[in-house]
Chains A and B, each alone.
Chain A
Amino acid sequence: MTDTYKGYRDPALATLKNFGVRVWSDVEVESTRGSFIGIILPRSETADASHVVLKLRNGYNVGLRHDTITAMREAGYKEAHYKIPEKQFPFDPGKPKVKLLGTGGTIASRLDYRTGAVIPAFSPGELYGSVPELADVCNLETEKLYGVFSENMAPEQWIGTAKAIGREIEKGVDGIVIGHGTDTMAHTAAILSFMVQDSPVPIVMVGSQRSSDRPSSDAAMNLIHAAFTAGYSDIAEVMICMFGPTSDQYGLLHRGTRVRKMHSSYRSTFRTISDIPIAMVDRKKVTPLRQDYKRRRKDRNVKIDTAFEEKVSIVYYYPNMSPDIIDALVDNGYRGIVIAGTGLGHVNKPLYPALARAHKKGVAMCMAVQTIWGFAQMYVYETGREIMELGVFPASNMLTEVAYVKLGWTLGHTRDLAEVERIMLTPINGEITEREPHNGYLVLQGGIPEVEAFIKSYRK
Chain B
Amino acid sequence: MKYTPFLETPASFYEEVGFMSGLEIHQQLLTKKKLFCRCPAGIYSRKWDAEILRHMRPTLSELGEYDGTALMEFKTRKEIIYHINKETVCTYEFDDTPPFEINEEALDIAAGMALLLNLNMVSELHISRKQYLDGSIPTGFQRTTILGVDGWIPYGDGKIRIRQLGLEEDACREISDEGHVRTYITDRLGMPLIETVTYPDMKRPHDVAAVAEILRRLARATGRVRTGPGAAREDVNVSVRGGTRCEIKGVSSIKRIPALVHNEAFRQVALLEIRDELSRRGITPERFSSSETDLTEKLGKTKYLPIFQAVEQGKRVIGVVLRGFDGLLRHSTGPGRSFFQEFSDRVRVVACLDMLPNAVTTDLPDGNLSPESWKAARNALGAGSSDAVVIVWGSREDAATAASEIALRARDATKGVPNETRQAMHDGTTGFERVLPGPDRMYPDTDLPPKALADERVDRARAWIPEAPWARAGRYREMGVPAEIAGKLAISPYSKVFDVVQARSAADPGFAARIFAERFPYLKRHKLDTSALGEDLLVKLFSMVRKKAIHKDAVMKVIIRCLCGCGGTAEDFVKELNLHPASEGEIEAALAGARDEATGVRFQSPAAERRYLMGRIMSVLRGRVDGADLAMRIAGGSQT
Q: Is the CB of B59 within 8 A of A118?
A: no
Contact pick for A214, options B94, B122, B129, B164, CB 8 Å: B129
A290 beta carbon closer than 8 Å to chain B: no
Q: Which residue of A lies closest to B127 (CB)?
A: A61
A116 near B49: Cβ-Cβ < 8 Å: no
Tell yes or no: A293 within 8 A of B by CB: no
Chain B hits for A55, CB < 8 A = 62
Given contacts A61-B126, A62-B126, A215-B133, contact A118 B446 (CB under 8 A): yes
Out of A63, A247, A452, A460, which one reaches B126, CB within 8 Å?
Answer: A63
Q: Is residue B449 within 8 Å, beta carbon to beta carbon, of the partner chain? A: yes
Q: How many residues of B contact A (CB 8 A)?
A: 64
Q: Is B128 an interface residue (CB 8 A)?
A: yes
B60 to chain A, nearest CB (A): 6
Cα A302 to Cα B141 in complex, Å, equals 46
Which 6 interchain pairs have the tightest Cβ spacing?
Answer: A34-B120, A63-B124, A215-B140, A59-B439, A59-B442, A65-B123
Contacts of A110 in B (CB 8 A): 60
Q: State how many angstroms separate the Cβ of B174 from the closest Cβ of chain A.
A: 17
A248:B53 contact, CB within 8 angstroms: yes
Which B residue's beta carbon lies closest to that of A63?
B124
In the complex, which of the residues A31, A59, A212 contacts B59, with contact meaning CB atoms closer than 8 Å? Answer: A212
A15-49 interface code vs B (CB 8 A; 1 in, 0 out): 00000000000000001011110000000101110
Known: A111-B444, A215-B58, A459-B53. Contact between A82 and B63, CB under 8 A?
A: yes
In the complex, the chain B residue whose C-beta lies closest to that of A213 is: B59
State which residues 102-134 of B face A: CB under 8 Å. 119-126, 128-131, 133
Query: Would A216 and B56 count as touching, CB distance under 8 A?
Result: yes
Say yes or no: is B312 at the interface (Cβ < 8 Å to chain A).
Answer: no
When C-beta atoms are compared, the residue in chain B nearest to A67 turns out to be B123
Q: How far is the CA of A82 from the CA of B91 in the complex (A)?
A: 30
- 9 A-B pairs within 8 Å (CB atoms) are namely A34-B120, A35-B150, A46-B449, A51-B124, A58-B164, A214-B141, A215-B140, A265-B97, A456-B50
Identify which of A111, A130, A220 gathers the most chain B CB atoms within 10 Å of its CB. A111
Interface residue? A279 (CB, 8 A) = no
Given A248-B53, A456-B51, does the pair A214, B149 have CB atoms closer than 8 Å?
no
Chain A residues with Cβ below 8 Å from B396 are none
Chain A residues with CB under 8 A of B301: none
- CB < 8 Å neighbour of A63 from B48, B123, B446: B123
Give the complex CA separation of A111 and B126 in angstroms. 15
Q: Pick the residue among A36, A83, A266, A459 that contacts B149 (CB under 8 A).
A: A36
Which residues of A are found within 8 Å of B144, using beta-carbon distances? 60
Contact A459 B51 (CB under 8 A): yes
Chain B residue with the shortest CB-CB distance to A32? B123
Q: Does B440 contact A (CB under 8 A)?
A: yes
For the complex, what is the distance from the CA of A313 to the CA of B120, rounded to whole Å?
Answer: 56
A214 touches B62 (CB 8 A): no
Chain B neighbourhood of A307, CB < 8 A? none
* Contact among A63, A117, A248, A452 for B450, CB-based, below 8 A: A63
Docked Cα-Cα span, A118 to B59, in Å, equals: 13
- How would residues 39 to 68 of chain B score, 1 for a CB under 8 Å from any chain A CB and 0 otherwise? 000000000111111111111111110100
Q: Is A142 an interface residue (CB 8 A)?
A: no
* A84 located at the interface, meaning its Cβ lies under 8 Å from any Cβ of chain B in the complex: yes
Q: Contacts A58-B439, A62-B125 given; indicate if A267 touches B96 (C-beta within 8 A).
A: yes
Known: A46-B449, A215-B140. A83 touches B64 (CB 8 A): yes
Within 8 Å of chain B (Cβ to Cβ): is A301? no
Assess the A80–B63 pair: CB atoms within 8 A: yes
Q: Does A438 contact B (CB under 8 A)?
A: no
Does A452 lie within 8 Å of B138, measured CB to CB? no
Instruction: Check: B146 CB closer than 8 A to any chain A CB.
Output: yes
Q: How far is the CA of A437 from the CA of B556 in the complex (A)?
A: 81
Interface residue A295 (Cβ < 8 Å from any Cβ of B):
no
Kindly state whether residue A53 has any CB partner on chain B within 8 Å.
yes
Tell whether, in the assembled complex, residue B54 and residue A33 are in contact, meaning their CB atoms are under 8 Å apart: no
User: Which residues of A are found within 8 Å of B576, using beta-carbon distances?
Assistant: none
Residues in A neighbouring B125, C-beta threshold 8 A: 62-63
Q: Chain A's interface: helix, strand, loop or mixed, by majority?
A: loop
Q: Considering the complex, give the chain A residue whose CB is closest to the CB of B138.
A: A216
C-alpha gap A220/B58 in the complex (Å) = 11
B52 touches A246 (CB 8 A): yes
Among residues of A, the one whose C-beta sits closest to the C-beta of B73 is A215
Task: Judge whether B55 and A248 touch: CB under 8 Å.
Answer: yes
Q: What's the minimum C-beta distance from A114 to chain B, rounded to whole angstroms?
A: 12
Say whether, besides A210-B95, A214-B140, A60 and B146 are in contact (CB < 8 Å).
yes
Min CB–CB distance B369 → chain A (angstroms): 37
Q: Does B70 contact A (CB under 8 A)?
A: yes
Residue in chain A with minimal CB distance to B166: A60
Taking the closest CB of chain B, its distance from the CB of A103, in whole angstroms, is 20
A60: contacting residue among B138, B442, B450, CB under 8 A: B442
CA A82 – CA B60 in complex, angstroms? 8
- Judging by beta carbons under 8 Å apart, are A455 and B126 in contact? no
10 more contacts with CB within 8 A, not counting A82-B64, A216-B138, A217-B57, are: A34-B120, A36-B149, A51-B452, A59-B128, A83-B60, A117-B446, A266-B97, A456-B49, A460-B51, A460-B52
Question: Do residues A265 and B91 form an inter-chain contact, with CB atoms below 8 A?
Answer: yes
How does the 8 Å CB contact mask read for B409-450 relative to A, with 1 for contact and 0 for none?
Answer: 000000000000000000000000000001111111010011
Residue in A47, A81, A82, A249 whose Cβ sees the most chain B Cβ within 10 Å:
A82
* Bound: A35/B120 CA distance, A: 7
Q: A53-95 toward B: CB 8 Å interface, digit per residue (1/0)?
A: 1011111111111001000000000001111110000000000
Q: Are A51 and B64 in contact (CB under 8 A)?
A: no
Q: Which residues of A have CB within 8 Å of B126?
A: 53, 60-63
User: In the complex the two chains form, what is the Cα distance from A111 to B61 in whole Å?
Assistant: 10
Give bound CA distance, A425 to B86, whole Å.
44
Find out whether the CB atom of A60 lies under 8 angstroms from the CB atom of B56: no
Min Cβ gap B559→A in Å is 46
> Hey, which chain A residues are within 8 Å of B48, CB to CB?
456
Q: Report the Cα distance A35→B121, complex, angstroms.
A: 9
A224 to chain B, nearest CB (A): 11
Asked if B145 CB lies within 8 Å of chain A CBs, one says yes
**Are B64 and A215 in touch, CB under 8 angstroms?**
no
User: Chain B nearest CB: distance from A166 CB in Å?
Assistant: 34
CB distance from A58 to the nearest CB of B (A): 6
A270 vs B142: C-alpha distance when bound (angstroms): 27
A455: contacting residue among B50, B119, B149, B150, CB under 8 A: B50
For B70, what are the chain A residues with a Cβ–Cβ distance below 8 Å?
A: 215
CA distance A60 to B142 in the complex (A): 12
Query: B480 contacts which chain A residues (CB < 8 A)?
Result: none
Residues of A within 8 A of B61 (CB): 59
Contact between chains at B123 and A60 (CB < 8 Å): no
Known contacts A34-B120, A59-B439, A456-B51; is-contact A216 B163 (Cβ 8 Å): no
Q: Which of chain B's residues 130-179 have a Cβ closer than 8 Å to chain A?
A: 130-131, 133, 138-141, 144-146, 148-150, 163-164, 166
- Residues in chain A near residue B130, CB distance under 8 A: 59
**Residues on the B chain within 8 Å of A247, using CB:** 51-54
| Bound Cα distance A62, B145 (Å) | 8
Q: Considering the chains assembled together, what is the distance between the CA atoms of A83 and B59 in angstroms?
A: 11
Contact partners of B133 in chain A: CB under 8 A: 215
A209–B56 Cα distance when bound, in Å, is 15
In the bound complex, do residue B444 and residue A61 qualify as a contact, i.e. CB atoms below 8 Å apart? yes
Q: Say which residue of B52, B84, B94, B122 sits within 8 Å of A64 (CB atoms).
A: B122
Taking a contact as CB atoms under 8 Å apart, the answer to whether A34 and B119 are in contact is yes
Chain B residues closer than 8 Å to A459, beta-carbon distance: 51-53
Which chain A residues border B55 with CB–CB below 8 Å?
221, 248
Give the distance in Å from the alpha carbon of A265 to the alpha carbon of B131 in the complex. Answer: 21
Q: Which residues of A contact B91 (CB under 8 A)?
A: 265-266
B164 touches A60 (CB 8 A): yes
Cα distance A130–B120 in the bound complex, in angstroms: 39
**Which residues of chain B are within 8 angstroms of A81 by Cβ–Cβ distance?**
64
A 100-123 to B, binary, CB cutoff 8 A, 1 in contact else 0:
000000000011000011100000
A249 with B60: CB separation less than 8 A: no
Q: Are B54 and A34 in contact (CB under 8 A)?
A: no
